[in-house]
Chains A and B, each alone.
Chain A
């Protein structure tokens, strides 16, 4: 007990999360007189997971995209397609951010790459400053439910749910989140009747031509996977190579000397995620050996009795969890423990995954440690409290959508073949 409190304090003081998880696993193993050599044995399981290679490859592709001019081209293309709506620019911002986040995996890159273009553009078009700040901050994690986002892949790896099923399951709930935010944005800005642009065939054609090299990307990823032609890890390799060829060799927007830096910063993120995965495997193996999921299930069963009340409890738990932990650590640490519990309440593992990711998406926006809040505060030089309050209405809308997603399993499971 004292040890647990000490580790918790260390975590709050800012100890790297992997060291906290590793030490708790080692203490657990020691308490059962196990040789700590077994730590190394279990840690090496990260070298036996099939689809893990997709994570470095997609991350690299996402970093390359965000360093090129692809964000500008994406905004122009979405603008030409959606800009005619009332509140057009806000809708454009949401759609472009969702698309971009799917490819860059919710590491804060979206706010930096796209927010820098959209925020001034929104201001210029007369949208209220508070609205713009909230919109850009909350769209930084929108799109996590769309393929091929890193959290979905990580959930698939950890839960052993087929990743292609998760990709399909995320489409409708992700679209729901997007539509609710878009609806809110149009309602709030109903005073600003001025559309961004009129619907123009020639502008659409020009924008499409400009993005001609990037447009095939989603089709490579999704088409390749759903046709059965490629597995996720292969689609990741092709995406990475394709993006490299397009942005470095064809568009020549990234000089060769900058590549090392891009590789380094993307792989630093990957290393940080995968080492947490490695030590979490050790700690999960220990906990399963000690029968902890079983104990948890019994304990939860004393609290709730129906699937509905279980989902409610789960949502509460995930919202608190998301406010404290980042999405990657939460997935590797918590998913193995709640999978058997959810199965006990007949929650489909695919649906559980979507609820988990959707709820954790809110974690990006909840104080005290919401990543998007800090990135936004830093990037747009706004006081953090101002960012909190500007983001609040968007957070509430997203909360509503997460509740809908949780209690409407059909939305997640509709497109998934049984």
Chain B
């Protein structure tokens, strides 16, 4: 089915990639410049930003989560890659569907429980960086796990489509 109009999913995909890149570049640049600024302030002006250390650690959390979401899209999460070189193409694809469904379920459960944890943080008015509500810094965790769950569902769907395409190719 040749179709030049990008589908909704494809547009969503491109937009998602764009947003990920924006976050990754922004977070990395921020942690690099803030760290260097911190050294300059300390060595030359004998001062420092007392909040910088904690802020950089939060940036690391965000970078880790956004990077993990991007790794789903690129299919570059670390796996024990033992069977893909040994078994035939269709078998590997079936295994892929199974593990992607499993991964989607695990991520969904984590997303749900970290969302609940966030509600607790809101209820107890936890703060980071002196007076920022903690949920602002931590919201990336449930959101990223939810997105990863979504990516794994899409991945499983793509494997099913390829499997069926492969079968039809054999039948013809």
Asked if A211 lies at the interface with its beta carbon under 8 angstroms from chain B, I say no
Question: Which residue in B38, B64, B120 is a CB contact (below 8 Å) of A270?
Answer: B64
Total contacting residues, chain A, CB less than 8 A:
66
- Contact bitstring B75-96, A, C-beta under 8 A = 1, else 0: 0111111111110000010011
- Decide if B68 touches A53 in the complex (CB within 8 Å): no
Instruction: Verify if B163 is at the interface (C-beta below 8 Å from A).
Output: no
Query: Are B65 and A53 interface neighbours, CB within 8 A?
Result: no
Which chain A residue lies CB-closest to B70? A268
Given the known interface contacts A13-B95, A53-B57, the answer about A272 and B68 at a Cβ–Cβ threshold of 8 Å is yes
The winner among B35, B99, B107, B142 for most chain A CB atoms within 10 A is B35
| CB of B121 to closest CB in A, whole Å | 9
B103-150 residues with Cβ-Cβ distance < 8 A to A are 103, 106-107, 109-110, 113-114, 116-118, 120, 137-138, 141-142
Residue of B67, B81, B99, B116 near A272 (CB, 8 A) is B67
Interface membership of chain A positions 52-66, coded 1 if the CB is closer than 8 angstroms to chain B and 0 otherwise: 110011001000000
Bound together, the chains give a CA A144 to CA B35 distance in angstroms of 25
Contact A271 B66, beta carbon cutoff 8 Å: yes
Name the residue of chain A whose CB is nearest to the CB of B64: A274
With A37-B117, A40-B141 already in contact, the answer to whether A56 and B31 are too (CB < 8 A) is yes
Whether the pair B20, A274 counts as a contact (CB closer than 8 A) is no
Residues of A within 8 A of B59 (CB): 53
Stretch at the interface among A14-22, A94-102, A350-358: A14-22
**Interface contact A237-B31, CB-CB below 8 Å:** yes
Q: A49-B57, A270-B67 are in contact. Are A57 and B32 (CB under 8 A)?
A: yes
Interface residues of A in 265-294 (CB under 8 A from B): 265, 267-278
Query: Is there contact, CB below 8 Å, between A19 and B36?
Result: no
- Cβ–Cβ < 8 Å partners of A13 in chain B: 83, 95, 98-99
| Pair B65/A324 contact, Cβ less than 8 Å | no
Interface of B is mostly: helix
Name the residue on B nearest A236 (C-beta): B35
> Is A384 located at the chain interface by the 8 A CB criterion?
yes
Which among B24, B32, B71, B96 is the interface contact of A14 at CB below 8 angstroms?
Answer: B96
Q: How far is the CB of B43 from chain A (nearest CB, A)?
A: 8
Closest Cβ of chain B: how far from A239's Cβ, in Å? 10
Is B56's CB within 8 Å of the partner chain A?
yes
Q: Is B161 in contact with chain A by the CB < 8 A criterion?
A: no
Whether a CB of chain B sits under 8 angstroms from the CB of A329 is yes
The reply to whether B78 and A272 contact each other, CB–CB distance below 8 Å, is yes
Q: B103 contacts which chain A residues (CB < 8 A)?
A: 15-16, 19
With A22-B106, A39-B113, A40-B113 already in contact, the answer to whether A46 and B61 are too (CB < 8 A) is yes
Q: Which residues 246-274 of A sit at the B interface, judged by CB distance below 8 A?
A: 259-260, 263-265, 267-274
Instruction: List residues of chain B with CB under 8 Å of any chain A CB.
Output: 20-21, 24-25, 28, 31-33, 35-36, 38-39, 43, 53, 56-61, 63-71, 74, 76-86, 92, 95-96, 98-99, 102-103, 106-107, 109-110, 113-114, 116-118, 120, 137-138, 141-142
A residues near B (Cβ < 8 Å) are 10-19, 22-23, 26, 36-37, 39-41, 43-44, 46-50, 52-53, 56-57, 60, 229-230, 233-234, 236-238, 240-241, 244, 259-260, 263-265, 267-278, 324-326, 328-329, 368-369, 374, 384
Given contact pairs A40-B117, A47-B61, A374-B85, a sample of 9 additional A-B residue pairs in the complex whose CB atoms are under 8 Å apart: A16-B99, A37-B120, A41-B117, A48-B57, A56-B60, A233-B56, A241-B36, A270-B63, A275-B64
6 closest A-B pairs (Cβ-Cβ)? A271-B67, A237-B35, A274-B64, A40-B117, A40-B114, A15-B99
Query: Could you give 18 example pairs across A and B, Cβ below 8 Å?
Result: A10-B99, A12-B83, A16-B77, A26-B110, A40-B138, A43-B114, A46-B60, A47-B138, A52-B60, A229-B43, A236-B35, A238-B36, A241-B36, A260-B21, A275-B71, A368-B85, A369-B82, A374-B81
